[in-house]
Amino acid sequence: MIIGVDYYPEHWDKEMWITDAELMAKTGIKLVRLGEFAWCRLEPEDSRFDFGWLDEAIGIFSERGIDVVLGTPTNCPPRWLCEQHPSVVPTGRNGSPNPIGIRGHRCVNDPVFLGYAQRIVAEMAEHYKDNKSVVAWQIDNELEANFCFCPTCNEKHREWLKSKYGTLQALNKAYGNVVWSGEYSSWEQIDPPYGDYNHAWLNPAYMLDFNRRASEDTVRFCNMQAELIRKYIPHAKITTNTWFCENMTDFYKTFENLDFVSYDNYPTTDIPKDTENIYTHAVHLDLMRGIKRENFWIMEQLSGGMGCWSPMSKTPRPGMIKGYALQAFAHGADTVVHFRWRTAAIGAEMHWHGLIDHSNVPGRRFAEFAELCGEAEKLASLRGTRLRSDVAILYSSDNEYAFKIQPQTYGMYYMEQIKLLHYAFAGLGLNVDIVGQHEELSDYRIVCAPEMYVTDESVVRRLYDFAESGGTVILTNRSGVKDSSNNCIQAQLPTVYSKLTGCHAEEYDPIGGDSVRIKFGDGDTFTGKQWCDILNADTAEVLAVYDSNFYKGNAAVTVNRFGNGRAYYIGTVGEKALYRKIALKILKDSGIPFTDSLPDNVEMTTRVGDEISARFIFNNTDVSQEFTLDGRNITLKPFEMMIEEI
């Protein structure tokens, strides 16, 4: 396993570079990321390139056995470019150019910007094509869907719609534009969603297409750079670093033509007191692994208290620096790069803390990081091992976008039931994959498909086929609500899934912040919140009913035999224990081994290889945990990871 750091030589006097590199080598760091924001130093004037300083920095690290990930600097074009060509600056929702000086100040559709971006990437690739210390490339930084509202993007959007729909008549029908007299009579009438008002007021079909196109713009920009790098370095290893942001790209399309997934991982440093709060980043890590169904990298890992656009967070508690990095390894990371080596002394991120604080004196966090480097060295034999899972959870960018466009009820968000289902199965010691909804399902025995809100007919067929062949499917409320255009399907919910689930909703109640009691046949009771599908069982067996509200006695949770398999339907958003109960029933019925002795927030995963396998047991809490596993009494300190070969 490899530990690295993010480093910014352009921020520091050259005298510090050697000192830092020597301490890195002594600590056990094997990798540094460089250059992703340094365009103004790499091309200080139009057509005048200066790689000398970066060559020197790479040489210093290389001499000490430290490899380099080189970032393309296209996230932050230099001032001279923005001044000479104002069109490169993206336009905001108010129709005015965005401020220069924050990162990401470029429109990835602007032809002038694309020309300069291609040139700087080509210059870098040609310059470093024979440098053996550059082991990977990162494209840009934390790419977001291209929410630019400039004339170029507007025209790109119209052309995208023309290609998709062909005629205005087809577009108007797909969008239902007759509502509020919104029918277009010319393509030129189609504008982006200007204004800072709530976008739920806008046509949801129009908004989903806008999101899809904005994501595709960014994916195309990413692929352009990857193709350019491979032109000069055919065997280059290329990635980009992704995260959960407001306007995410489609993860699966983003990484389709890249070599591996990288994620920026910042777990919380403030453990919530509410026991129903799922704060673990295990779900994020499993989603990243599921994008390509391969091991991945962490390109930015928590190193200290965070603060930039928000006030500073708590500093990491003892054990967090080491424990959270090992948690990433436990879920399929092969490389973890910490952000950052030094806390910045300049710029907006000076309170986003690195491993060495402004004092310039390595402290408690650094000492713990050094321990991590030593432990990662011992785990070298596990590199290449993988997680194999019987359980998959489906994720959809369209569904996440659609939930943002039209909030369903107060407090309800798309990822919640993904987290709840993940927490239930992972809490029983199982590896869990979170995969794209178009992935092949035959490798799994259980597939959770929460909130299948926007319908894709190919996904529907595959879920039916999976159950028919003997698999277990879990569906939830807000499934089958919309067609592929994000318009409502006129049938009783869950519409296209009703034959699979063997039930239908007579009515639904968006209860928001209120709660409802749920009672199972064995007398166990749980709390439901946010949403209640009032179910009528057709061919399904009723497992639980509502035990309060005007629909007391109506079905809340059902299971239906379908072919050789089963389909469960959860009509509400329950507390954690409800999902654990359902998971236990499914695992017992299917004969899949599980562990039910793990305390809450103690996580267990298994990485397997041809010659070696290991189990990771992580206490993701701020208190010691004692429990029994395989007949042994185990005690784990806060954020301690136990690793054992099996």
- Please report the DSSP string for 28-89 in residue order: T--EEEE-TT-HHHHSSBTTB---HHHHHHHHHHHHTT-EEEEEP-TTS--HHHHHH-GGGS
- A 10 A CB-CB count for 630 gives 9
Q: How far apart are CA 164 and CA 167, in angstroms?
A: 9
The residues pairing with 394 across neighbouring beta strands, listed in sequence order, are: 435
- Please report the DSSP string for 501-550 in residue order: HTEEEEEEEEEEEEEEEEEETTS-EEEEEEEEEEEEESSSEEEEEE-SST
Residue pair 289/433 in contact (Cβ under 8 Å)? The answer is yes
3-state secondary structure of 399: helix
Residue pair 30/2 in contact (Cβ under 8 Å)? The answer is yes
* 603 part of the active site: no
Q: How far apart are CA 42 and CA 124, in angstroms?
A: 9
The residues pairing with 643 across neighbouring beta strands, listed in sequence order, are: 616
Q: How far apart are CA 93 and CA 129, in angstroms?
A: 40
Residue pair 442/430 in contact (Cβ under 8 Å)? The answer is no
- A 10 A CB-CB count for 591 gives 7
CA 479 to chain centre: 21
Looking at 10, 123, 142, 216, which residue is catalytic? 142
Looking at 36, 43, 144, 300, which residue is catalytic? 300
Q: How far apart are CA 341 and CA 65, in angstroms?
A: 17
Residue pair 226/74 in contact (Cβ under 8 Å)? The answer is no
Catalytic residue annotation: 142, 300
